[in-house]
C-alpha cells in the first residue's frame, strides 16, 4: 500500500499582486535575505511578468483573469484563495 504524505504547509503565505512589476527580482532578493524561512510567495499577475527569478523558497504563480484595468482587490482575493499558509501577508 502506497501512502502519499502531503508536504507541510508554510506558516506564512506572502501574496504579491503584480502588474508589469519591474521590481520583482528585487523583491525576491529581499525575501531571500530573510532569516525566517517558513513562507511561500504567491505571485498573482496577468502573465505580463515573463520570468520569475529563481529562489530557494517556494513560489507559486497564480494567473488572474486578463483585465483591461488592474483590479487589486480581485488579485488579493485570488492570492488568498491560493495561499496555503496559516497566516497571509501582503
Confidence of residue 32 (pLDDT cuts 50, 70, 90): confident
Comparing 25 with 50, which gets the higher pLDDT?
25
Question: What's the mean pLDDT in 40-46?
Answer: 83
**What's residue 2's pLDDT?**
47
Sheet with strand 59-63: strands edge to edge: 59-63, 39-45, 12-17, 87-89
Between 34 and 52, residue with greater pLDDT: 34
Say what the pTM is.
0.76
Residue with cell 491560493: 82
Residue 78 · residue 4 · CB < 8 Å = no
Amino acid at each position: 500500500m502506497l501512502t502519499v504524505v502531503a508536504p507541510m504547509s508554510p506558516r506564512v503565505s506572502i501574496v504579491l499582486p503584480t502588474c508589469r512589476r519591474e521590481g520583482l527580482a528585487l523583491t525576491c532578493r529581499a525575501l531571500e535575505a530573510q532569516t525566517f524561512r517558513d513562507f511561500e510567495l504567491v505571485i498573482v499577475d496577468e502573465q505580463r511578468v515573463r520570468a520569475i527569478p529563481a529562489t530557494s523558497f517556494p513560489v507559486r504563480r497564480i494567473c488572474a483573469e486578463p483585465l483591461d484595468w488592474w483590479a487589486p482587490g480581485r488579485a488579493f482575493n485570488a492570492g488568498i484563495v491560493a495561499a496555503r499558509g496559516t497566516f497571509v501577508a501582503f
